[in-house]
Structure 1
Amino acid sequence: MERLILNDLLKWKLSKHRKPLILKGVRQVGKTWLLKEFGKRYYENVAYFNLDEHEEYRQFFETTKDVDRILQNLILASAQKIQAENTLIIFDEIQDCPKVINSMKYFCENAPQYHVACAGSLLGIALSKPSSFPVGKVDFLQINPMSFTEFLMANGDKNLAQYLSSVDTPAPIPDAFFNPLYEKLKMYYVTGGMPEPVLMWTEDRDVEAVQIALSNIIGAYERDFAKHPEISEFPKISMIWRSIPSQLARENKKFIYKAVKEGARAREYEDALQWLVDANLVSKIYRCSAPGLPISAYDDLSSFKLYLVDIGLLRRLAHLAPTAFGEGNRLFTEFKGALSENYVLQALKNQFEVTPRYWSQVNPPYEVDFLIQRENDILPVEVKSESNTESHSLKKFKEKFGDETKLRIRFSLNNLKLDGDMLNIPLFMADYTDKLIGLALKSNRLYRTR
């Protein structure tokens, strides 16, 4: 299966400022496959070291900080070849190996000729410990679940993916493309973007195998909860994780601790919640009081929403059966459109450096699903999963912050359309949000200069 992040890995390889790479991503998102595939395509040789499978290799990093000695020991112990410029050295499963993480400092300073890439599950947890972090001495890449575009390519629909990438004006999509893309998106809501469930569908069209694969991934994550250093946090992490579908099923999707457990208080659960955030299993989206810069200065730290790392995992965790695929728009509208919001958030996080926020007010009640920062513009985003796309909250947002709002974005099942400062993006084009915003702003500028 093609992963677009391979382009970023190639840029890393060719950069004259290249440092050792740490590839972050949740368990079973495809980190090991990606690095091996990258090495196979762009290097003469790959030297792969799994620090979980071969725990004895860890000793080489504990007894010395000399890079040449470390590599010599690894070569002798594994019988693998390493040539500086032509070999990709992969250290896998390094999350429990602080000495290995720390050694990247010495690879950077004393042996920059080597191409070194590291990966591991729960690396976000390991890197949150200051003692193991080689500040300024590593490059980072984040691998996320497969996007809808990558799903299309894996599914044999490269023509549809190519069409989406070729759109160069904010005008309606022809039915010959719109209708099949709408149907393919429903299947993506079923599989999500984790490689194994996608493979089960694209190779065998086996929905039951998709279900089993998703259940196994969720089970693996839940076993990881026990790796929290404080064993008392384990049940709290599980309860937060299991509560997310019900949190998102409410009209107001703000996270409420009492929905985790009756009488629960923030201070009792904040460490458990932070563990899930550091592990990148959930995204924490803060309420923003106003569209100012920097956007973090306007965060309301007491109000936030939680979304899962992958839409397929959210569907499975919510026990929404794949049969909803054949029931019209049900997948899009189920539990207050939470699947669509989760899907859109995944797409936005792949395109924008700053984590999205959301905006709301209580009296009268209005809520804009996301605020995105694009360059120095803060833009409101609403996700609509039903045929009624009237955007009262976007209208209210413009009333309050009109001068700061160059464009309003609405995701829906309707066609691509630019109507003044309102850009309607079909849900299946979420991967191209940044490009479409650019086209819309350019179109509006040209209109104003006429």
Structure 2
Amino acid sequence: MQELPNLYSYLRYFKEKAPDFKVISAGSLLEFEINNKNRQQGPTGRIEYSYLNPMTFEEYLLAANKLAYDKLKELSPTKPVSEGLHTILSNIFKEYLVCGGMPAAVQASINKEGPLRLDAIKNDIITGYIEDLPKYSDLSDTKYDTELLERILSVVMSNPSKGLQYNKIAPGYKIEKVKKHIDILASAKVIRRSIHTSENKTPLLNGVNPKNYKLFGLDLGLCYSFMGVSPMSIYSNIDINDMANGAIAEQYVAQTLASIPPFYKTKAIYHWERQKKGSTAEVDFITEVGSEIYPIECKSGKSNKLKSLKLLLEEKVFKTSLRCYSGNTEIETWSITKNNDEEYQASVMSIPLYMLEHFIESKAS
């Protein structure tokens, strides 16, 4: 779409002159074309938007093992899974971590083409994104530094979930310039940004502090290839939260939260952090599901390790919190004494990482 001058503007004539035709338009840089101030008037008010993300784990599972998919959809996300099915779903989930959700990579994985072929496909996709970077200036009113864009993209893809300071992302560049280039990569949808919120009710946007942020890649599989992690290290690892200091698990949760319906708008990603001298803490995500707000932690081991979550619950009331890990479903009740000495009971639910999407769907319906 963005390759042909004014094609986006001509779409309005389909509505006026040929209403029988249903037109679907897509492009990796379509966002730039839509927001281009120099283009002619487009089909304003005559189009529907849908934001397409990489395939989710459930979509991958449907393609890889329909029987396992049907079994998962029958499960209650709040009850333990039988050990046999838990093992099967965990193994397929590891395949998804290596593959990611880009359609060509998924197809190769389903065809059992092997990790080398998967890696080649993902590297071709990454190369395509890098080759698109010079077009950012051509399709907008702003001049962007292609080398800086590539530097930021590489740092984020190889270190997802990190809240790096601007001068550490790109040493030698001015902070405002780095920020501007991060903004355009996020607008182009090749990276994702999670922002701190102090809110425990909707809208979460009311409590944001844009200075406290974390960055994620577009797709888990692309990040995996950037990291250079061996497939065998994924397949042989019991707890995914131990991989790459938890970055792989957090990247999975971030893109899952960004991919849930409705698809007509982009999803903001939030987390909570406290940056006090001698007392820093971070809860990986805070998200709205249905009518409730859930803190989400990606942590292995015993639930008593969730110290940051406990600090958050002492500051704000959350009825239910999630811990995503490689184990089976467990539910605990914590007795919390808030900072103002008020007491309440908090439910902490530990669920397998592969169960997250199913949990969200069950609560959102």
Does 1:322 find its partner at 2:231? yes
The alpha-carbon distance between structure 1 residues 432 and 374, as it changes in their structure 2 partners (threshold 3 A), is: same
Runs of 5+ unmatched residues, structure 1: 1-93, 440-450
The alpha-carbon distance between structure 1 residues 178 and 438, as it changes in their structure 2 partners (threshold 3 A), is: same
The alpha-carbon distance between structure 1 residues 173 and 275, as it changes in their structure 2 partners (threshold 3 A), is: same
3-state secondary structure, aligned to 1:419? strand
3-state secondary structure, aligned to 1:362? strand
How far apart are 1:130 and its partner, in Å?
Answer: 4.2
CA–CA distance in structure 1, aligned partners of residues 16 and 38 of structure 2:
18
2:103 alignment counterpart: 195
Does 1:393 find its partner at 2:302? no
CA–CA distance in structure 1, aligned partners of residues 19 and 205 of structure 2:
36
Runs of 4+ in 1 over 6 A off after TM superposition: none
CA–CA distance in structure 1, aligned partners of residues 291 and 76 of structure 2:
23
- After TM superposition, the structure 1 = structure 2 runs for residues 2-401 of structure 1, keeping only pairs within 5 Å, are 94-97=1-4, 99-109=6-16, 111-130=18-37, 132=39, 133-155=42-64, 157-168=65-76, 170-229=78-137, 232-245=144-157, 247-248=159-160, 253-329=162-238, 331-351=240-260, 354-363=267-276, 364-384=279-299, 386-389=300-303, 390-401=305-316
CA–CA distance in structure 1, aligned partners of residues 102 and 323 of structure 2:
26
Q: Which amino acid aligns with 1:408?
A: S
| Mapped contact 2:199–2:206 kept (Cα < 8 A) | no
| Mapped contact 1:410–1:423 kept (Cα < 8 A) | yes
How far apart are 1:239 and its partner, in Å?
Answer: 0.7
Runs of 5+ unmatched residues, structure 2: 334-346
The alpha-carbon distance between structure 1 residues 135 and 292, as it changes in their structure 2 partners (threshold 3 A), is: farther
CA–CA distance in structure 1, aligned partners of residues 17 and 144 of structure 2:
42
* The structure with more helix, counted as a fraction of residues: 1
The alpha-carbon distance between structure 1 residues 135 and 368, as it changes in their structure 2 partners (threshold 3 A), is: farther
1:183-232 deviations in Å (ceiling 9; x for gaps)? 11111111111122222222134111111111111111111112121665
3-state secondary structure, aligned to 1:188? helix
Q: Which amino acid aligns with 2:150?
A: S
CA–CA distance in structure 2, aligned partners of residues 209 and 247 of structure 1:
23
| Mapped contact 1:352–1:372 kept (Cα < 8 A) | no
Does 1:412 find its partner at 2:360? no
CA–CA distance in structure 1, aligned partners of residues 62 and 291 of structure 2:
33
Does 1:429 find its partner at 2:355? yes
3-state secondary structure, aligned to 1:142? coil
How far apart are 1:241 and its partner, in Å?
Answer: 0.7
Q: Which amino acid aligns with 2:82?
A: P
| Mapped contact 1:287–1:304 kept (Cα < 8 A) | yes
Q: How many residues align?
A: 339
The alpha-carbon distance between structure 1 residues 326 and 167, as it changes in their structure 2 partners (threshold 3 A), is: closer
TM-score (normalised: structure 2)? 0.85
1:244-288 deviations in Å (ceiling 9; x for gaps)? 155447xxx213212222243321122321221122111111111
CA–CA distance in structure 2, aligned partners of residues 227 and 208 of structure 1:
30
CA–CA distance in structure 1, aligned partners of residues 364 and 148 of structure 2:
43
3-state secondary structure, aligned to 1:204? coil
CA–CA distance in structure 2, aligned partners of residues 237 and 362 of structure 1:
28
The alpha-carbon distance between structure 1 residues 294 and 204, as it changes in their structure 2 partners (threshold 3 A), is: closer
CA–CA distance in structure 1, aligned partners of residues 261 and 357 of structure 2:
11
CA–CA distance in structure 1, aligned partners of residues 211 and 35 of structure 2:
22
Q: Percent identity?
A: 24
TM-score (normalised: structure 1)? 0.70
* Bigger Rg over Cα: 1
Q: Which amino acid aligns with 2:361?
A: K
| Mapped contact 2:240–2:325 kept (Cα < 8 A) | no
The alpha-carbon distance between structure 1 residues 291 and 432, as it changes in their structure 2 partners (threshold 3 A), is: same
CA–CA distance in structure 2, aligned partners of residues 352 and 366 of structure 1:
30
The alpha-carbon distance between structure 1 residues 332 and 211, as it changes in their structure 2 partners (threshold 3 A), is: farther
Q: Which amino acid aligns with 1:116?
A: V
How far apart are 1:148 and its partner, in Å?
Answer: 1.2
Q: Which amino acid aligns with 2:326?
A: L
CA–CA distance in structure 2, aligned partners of residues 159 and 345 of structure 1:
27
The alpha-carbon distance between structure 1 residues 330 and 317, as it changes in their structure 2 partners (threshold 3 A), is: farther
CA–CA distance in structure 2, aligned partners of residues 432 and 179 of structure 1:
17
Q: Which structure ranks higher in relative contact order (CA pairs < 8 Å, sequence separation ≥ 6)?
A: 2
How far apart are 1:178 and its partner, in Å?
Answer: 0.1
| Mapped contact 1:288–1:358 kept (Cα < 8 A) | yes
